[in-house]
A and B are shown apart, each in its own frame.
Chain A
């Protein structure tokens, strides 16, 4: 591929970020985890912080994220990434520490850890991938599964009498004192992907400025477990998820206002 560019004297306009390892991922075709990885890696490159960054990976489909990011990394127990990241950051206050978590990990088994990391104002960044389902275990109901959504453990559709309501984490975490940046973005089309990248950058900048806890919730697709084609899946993000999970800036600390530029994506 590189030789082609030389022969035709083409200019390189798109390459793998240094922060992203040159390996195949295990993600399914059409899954937006790959997109989220790429955005985070581009941001780490652009901010020049790759060599100072430590990733705390989680349990779920993103369990192998430590293989894909070219940064020092550890793998936390299910839901405990914010606690483990707290330990890392308190020892290395001068490093950039981020968690990469799915909705089962962050909103269900790790709800306590993320709430308290946020409320303490831990100077860490959480990249939160919400695809409304447990992917790694094969498509069970998550705390974010939509009302009526059929999964392998809600075969009749999520019933609020039985399983309650989907959790809106970006809104919830925005209410806590230690949170300086809490926003929701979506990865369902190019325009929204670019907006998501801007938010990820601000979240890391918030940490670099030592302001407090920052989180970006990313609405994502899971075509395999949703039993859809990749195109149907991103359409479902737009048509079914967006109405329940409105995109927006739920908290932007004053020091970040100029970076954010506006109060909505």
Chain B
């Protein structure tokens, strides 16, 4: 397959098709609408299921229906629409059926705006609906990654019978970059044994999230938690680390914020400053060990996000209280500029340097 110039939203859609998405249900919302539009043409051409639902609420419940029927199903939306879908996320998680959700994040809270944001980090990684569950969350930073992670999302959803989110800020959905699409996978239309296909020559299949007995429901919860722990132990974490080997200061960022941080790191490296970038690609499970390993040599971390500081708390929890973790972010759909990030990083480098000098001055004792 040749590299071609692709818009992020179109890349997500075409990657899903080639990964074997059999059913798509969606609702228009900026800045993800091109994804739905691409599906509306291509899925029909390929004799697959496409439906524009009457709401995001209906869309996610159609995905739930297609998933219990045994199809590879997905939807896509943007932040306010994702909030509306939370009911369905919780039911899908409880029912242990696979589904893929793409969230092209925009500025919030409320109706907010249609500019790029990373304001859904907590919602996606920690509170995607009522009750105890977590989806797998993947965060691309380029159009190529949008393609690769969308294909991966379907495989992970099937492998663990779970919800998988691919979350990207609106910039990644809207921008065009050269990227390569994977070859088309043929639809098998084979149904898993648990799927609802009609109780012919077998006992009936039932898929429900209702468990009225407290002990019965606790048993389901224990099973779900064990599955999440299994995913955490299964080597599914992904990350990208640049110039971290000798870095005193490490910037931590995902998605578009990581691209901005990367520019800042490259500029400072050109001056010989010891800075690096750690970019988580799986936001859940988080690459905890890889980040924790960097605390051996780093003297400070700067988290850069397009929100008020959400991943910040995960980084602080992993890094611990011994090493300073600071934050630079912009909100409301504003993308930080590389020089803003650079300024914040230089200030932190100075603090680290003065602390180091103070320590050396006091003969190595920490004051």
Majority secondary structure of chain A interface residues (helix, strand, loop or mixed) = helix
**Which residues in window 51-106 of B have CB below 8 A to A?**
51, 53-55, 57-59, 61-71, 73, 87-88, 91, 95
Q: Is A176 an interface position by the 8 A CB rule? A: no
Instruction: Decide if A86 touches B206 in the complex (CB within 8 Å).
Output: no
Instruction: Decide if B199 touches A72 in the complex (CB within 8 Å).
Output: yes
**Which residues in window 24-71 of B have CB below 8 A to A?**
25, 49, 51, 53-55, 57-59, 61-71
Instruction: Decide if A87 touches B73 in the complex (CB within 8 Å).
Output: yes
> A239 vs B129: C-alpha distance in the bound complex, in angstroms?
45
Are A87 and B197 also in contact (CB < 8 A) when A72-B205, A75-B210 are?
Answer: no
Partner of A88, one of B58, B196, B200, B201: B196
Instruction: Decide if B49 touches A51 in the complex (CB within 8 Å).
Output: no
Interface segment among A76-84, A184-192, A202-210: the answer is: A76-84
Instruction: Decide if B71 touches A91 in the complex (CB within 8 Å).
Output: yes
Instruction: Decide if B61 touches A95 in the complex (CB within 8 Å).
Output: no
Number of residues from B at the complex interface, CB < 8 A: 40
Instruction: Decide if B66 touches A112 in the complex (CB within 8 Å).
Output: no
Instruction: Decide if A83 touches B65 in the complex (CB within 8 Å).
Output: yes
For residue B175, give the distance in angstroms from its CB to the closest CB of chain A.
Answer: 32
Partner of A87, one of B25, B55, B57, B210: B25
Task: Give B200-241 as 1s and 0s: 1 = Cβ < 8 Å from A's Cβ atoms.
Answer: 110011111110000000000000000000000000000000
Instruction: Decide if B198 touches A77 in the complex (CB within 8 Å).
Output: no
For residue B43, give the distance in angstroms from its CB to the closest CB of chain A.
Answer: 11
Interface segment among A63-71, A146-154, A160-168: the answer is: A63-71
Interface segment among A3-11, A52-60, A251-259: the answer is: A52-60
Q: Is B23 an interface position by the 8 A CB rule? A: yes
Q: Is A247 an interface position by the 8 A CB rule? A: no
Q: Is A113 an interface position by the 8 A CB rule? A: yes
> What bracket does the count of chain A residues touching chain B fall in?
20 to 34
Task: Give B289-319 as 1s and 0s: 1 = Cβ < 8 Å from A's Cβ atoms.
Answer: 0000000000000000000000000000000
Which chain A residues border B61 with CB–CB below 8 Å? 76-77, 80, 83-84, 87, 113
> A80 vs B56: C-alpha distance in the bound complex, in angstroms?
12
Instruction: Decide if B65 touches A84 in the complex (CB within 8 Å).
Output: yes
Instruction: Decide if B51 touches A86 in the complex (CB within 8 Å).
Output: yes
Chain B residue at minimal CB-CB distance from A120: B51
Chain A residue at minimal CB-CB distance from B73: A87
Q: Is A264 an interface position by the 8 A CB rule? A: no
Instruction: Decide if A80 touches B57 in the complex (CB within 8 Å).
Output: yes
Which chain B residues border A31 with CB–CB below 8 Å? none
Chain A residue at minimal CB-CB distance from B208: A75
**Which residues in window 165-208 of B have CB below 8 A to A?**
196-201, 204-208
Which chain A residues border B209 with CB–CB below 8 Å? 75
**Interface residues of B, Cβ cutoff 8 Å to A:** 22-23, 25, 49, 51, 53-55, 57-59, 61-71, 73, 87-88, 91, 95, 196-201, 204-210
Lowest 6 CB-CB distances: which A-B pairs, in order? A87-B65, A75-B208, A83-B61, A84-B65, A91-B69, A87-B62
